[in-house]
Structure 1
């Protein structure tokens, strides 16, 4: 490659009541306030959710800075509408009222066809886009990334507390999300034709209503000339979002440099996903090369060894090393939630911890 691919990040956030911590359906108000301030905030499927999107970047430092600016701006707009912006993947508290669908024709159509599966959304993820020249390359990259998706999930897990108590999982969002018929890891595709046939079959069977509902955790983007990695919970901090984006970008470069993709059997990959969702950073991981369990840190070291030449070329090896050291020491969102909750058993402490993490280094 003559030039290194650019990267962009989308982050989804939960809006909660500052007094109760319960989700509040004020995304349209927050988006209008943001627009008046020159900030673009998108509406998500539930009225208690908003999304921000960065520009494309060639430097991780600039990506990190924009992530800080977007979170800070969105949080100010939320505060002006009597809400708190939280980087959390599922609502920690019991809603005061039923969660409501954002009023757009597409979202209403999804709700009509998928019932409570859509109506119980309220889940927030992080999507990383990395530029690729065409769909054939996107699918080759997808095949390469597929075995590593559970590791990315383990690093970003941020949904240990749900509706008033512990779930027993680091990423409860992932368990809920994979109820969708088009969610989870994609198949290993041998060609663009195979991919198109799979999508057309889902459309014909009615399990998706349009191509935007191809919710696989890595896919060629429907909207941009990118490969999109969607497996992550929204990370607790911007540093973690920039970290996962940098790891994904380096892995995309590595894939394009001719590194072959391991074809992991579906049962092994399902087991790896469950392990990642259950234990997050603190549980055992499943090595995609042999199906054996090992500490997350050891599997992470294997990934870093694999993508290190790309990280060096990007100038990001130092950033990744420092960010991982901090993450392993401090813990991700799931660990933060559990530590806060177990100290006194108070959900308010979880909300406070998440609010602080959301804007950590952003002010």
Structure 2
């Protein structure tokens, strides 16, 4: 079994000492021009783009170094860098980055764009071609709610507990062509749906395909984008390793993938976004309710051969044990918020 290469994009938030979004991304990015770090839709967001990596250990090293150097640059510009899915303080609407594409998005989508100062994590895994990417999408979509639950990190929004482990996911699904992808019969089916959106004006271009898994528009990869930005590098590497193993498993199976009842998948997503790892989930193939921890365990068993082939089984088992024992970002944020602890200190990335 071939080991596909992986890469990760992490969106991170710049805030003031009080947790309000701080629009200094241009200056911060300029301070780390030697790294592949870019501005994002709002002026209080930055995005890390990891190098292409061959191993999980290599990915961990790059992300740790890039987070650290970016945090140092943020501090030099009077900002704090947070690994958090949504702004913990401030106003919903934020200022848009002065790039033609982002300004056009704000012009066409108004408040929806200005409120989109949310931070996700996107995992790229290389695939042979677009046809393979479409098959992988069908195979991976049943497991997307479990990945969302595992990495949920956005329960506190504008100084209130939203009641959801991933408020970011709720916000992102307001966009057209977002959330769980359809089941695709073929590349032609995918292309026809995208063409429909473009003709209708619900998309500006194909880069606005925001489904939680999609073929990349500019790389020979499939991109899984369901996750909040995780609180820690360890959790990001766990996510990326599981996604890589899912892609390998799907490519190895070679079929078009299982069809699902859309309403069951929708319910599974909603439970994952609301409760994260602490509540019930669904087996999307049988519609059987079960603890989300059991859904995650089934995901782990599903990718066992791929993890063994990668040599990452112990890494995944250790990381899963830590997350389930100590809580993911959502669990830890909500506990800190309830106890009146410093949420900024909890989520801050330090040099």
Task: State TM-score, norm by structure 1.
Answer: 0.94
Decide whether the 8 Å contact of 2:245 with 2:306 is kept in 1: yes
2:251 alignment counterpart: 256
What is the CA–CA distance in structure 2 between the aligned matches of 1:292 and 1:258, rounded to whole Å? 24
What is the CA–CA distance in structure 1 between the aligned matches of 2:30 and 2:90, rounded to whole Å? 27
| Alignment coverage as a number of residue pairs | 350
Q: Does 1:308 align with 2:304?
A: yes
Unaligned runs of 5+ in 1: none
Decide whether the 8 Å contact of 2:93 with 2:111 is kept in 1: no
Q: Does 1:326 align with 2:322?
A: yes
Q: Does 1:353 align with 2:346?
A: yes
C-alpha deviations, 1:216-265, integer Å up to 9, x for none? 00000011100000000000000000000000000100001116522111
* Alignment of structure 1 residues 132-151 onto 2, 5 Å: 132-151=127-146
Q: Does 1:56 align with 2:52?
A: yes
1:84 alignment counterpart: 80
C-alpha deviations, 1:168-195, integer Å up to 9, x for none? 0000011111100111011000100000
2:25 alignment counterpart: 27
C-alpha deviations, 1:143-169, integer Å up to 9, x for none? 000111010000010000000110000
1:270 alignment counterpart: 266
* Alignment of structure 1 residues 234-245 onto 2, 5 Å: 234-245=229-240
1:206 alignment counterpart: 201
2:14 alignment counterpart: 15
Q: Counterpart of 2:133 in 1: which secondary structure?
A: helix
Deviation at 1:98, TM superposition (A): 4.8
What is the CA–CA distance in structure 1 between the aligned matches of 2:19 and 2:312, rounded to whole Å? 37
C-alpha deviations, 1:60-79, integer Å up to 9, x for none? 11111111011001101111
Deviation at 1:94, TM superposition (A): 2.1
Deviation at 1:290, TM superposition (A): 0.5
Q: 2:101 aligns with which of 106, 111, 115?
A: 106
Q: Counterpart of 2:253 in 1: which secondary structure?
A: coil
What is the CA–CA distance in structure 2 between the aligned matches of 1:262 and 1:80, rounded to whole Å? 50
What is the CA–CA distance in structure 2 between the aligned matches of 1:50 and 1:21, rounded to whole Å? 16
Q: Counterpart of 1:162 in 2: which secondary structure?
A: coil
Decide whether the 8 Å contact of 2:135 with 2:254 is kept in 1: no
What is the CA–CA distance in structure 2 between the aligned matches of 1:135 and 1:105, rounded to whole Å? 29
What is the CA–CA distance in structure 1 between the aligned matches of 2:132 and 2:26, rounded to whole Å? 37
Q: Counterpart of 2:107 in 1: which secondary structure?
A: helix
Runs of 4+ in 1 over 4 A off after TM superposition: none
Unaligned runs of 5+ in 2: none
Q: Does 1:93 align with 2:89?
A: yes
What is the CA–CA distance in structure 2 between the aligned matches of 1:223 and 1:259, rounded to whole Å? 24
